[in-house]
Amino acid sequence: MDSDAPMQKVADAVEADPLNTGLLKDVSTVLGVSGMTLTNPMGELLHSTIEDEHLNEFIAFLSGTLPTLEEVLGLGAIHHVLLKSPQNSNLSLFSRQGQSLGIVSRPKASLHGIAQQMESLLAGV
């Protein structure tokens, strides 16, 4: 089986979108990241390495909530949301131009380090 085939599908799916497959590959190599999910503005999953479907649904729900939250607060654009658990994996959501990248990171991983690397990767998009 061609291992590049799934990524090719992703490439097709995100061809016109700012978050590209090269970025997804880079994200997967960031230390501490155990999974990621890319959603479009409609909350549809473009790509995911997270096996827990509930978590994928939650990430889609959260990314769908952000535009309303931005509107209600009127403080500017929401760039990043971090949800911390006292014991389990942490969740981060990075939002750019309607697309959202959800990241699951290991409990002991450096959240600041991951956020910095993500911001750096996304800055190049």
Partner 1 sequence: MDDILVSIKALRGVQDVCFYHDNQVLGSTFPPVQRVAIHAAAPMLEQVFAALQTIQQDHEEMYIAIGDQQLIAYQIKDCGTVLLLTEKRVNIPLVHMGVKSAGNKLKAALAIRAAMPIQAAPTVTATPPAPTVAEKVSAGIDLKPILDQLQALLLDYFGPAAGFIFNDALDEWQRQGTPQYQNLGQLLTLLLAEFDSAQEKHSFQRSAEAAISAGKLTPTH
Q: Which residues of the chain form contacts with partner 1 (CB under 8 A)?
A: 54-55, 57-58, 61-62, 65, 68-70, 72-88, 90-91
Containing H/E element for 112?
A: helix 111-123
- Spatial contact of 51 and 60, defined as CB atoms under 8 Å apart: no
Q: Which is nearer to partner 1, 44 or 52 (CB)?
A: 52
CB of 104 to partner 1, least distance (A): 11
Using DSSP, state whether 39 is helix, strand or coil: strand
CB of 30 to partner 1, least distance (A): 18
Q: Which is nearer to partner 1, 13 or 43 (CB)?
A: 43
Nearest CA-CA partner of 14 in 77, 115, 96? 96
CB of 95 to partner 1, least distance (A): 10
Q: Which is nearer to partner 1, 40 or 56 (CB)?
A: 56
Q: Which is nearer to partner 1, 16 or 77 (CB)?
A: 77
With 0-12 / 13-18 / 19 or more C-beta atoms within 10 angstroms meaning exposed / middle / buried, residue 112 is exposed
CB of 54 to partner 1, least distance (A): 4
Instruction: For the sheet with 33-39, list strands across it.
Output: 45-48, 33-39, 99-105, 90-96
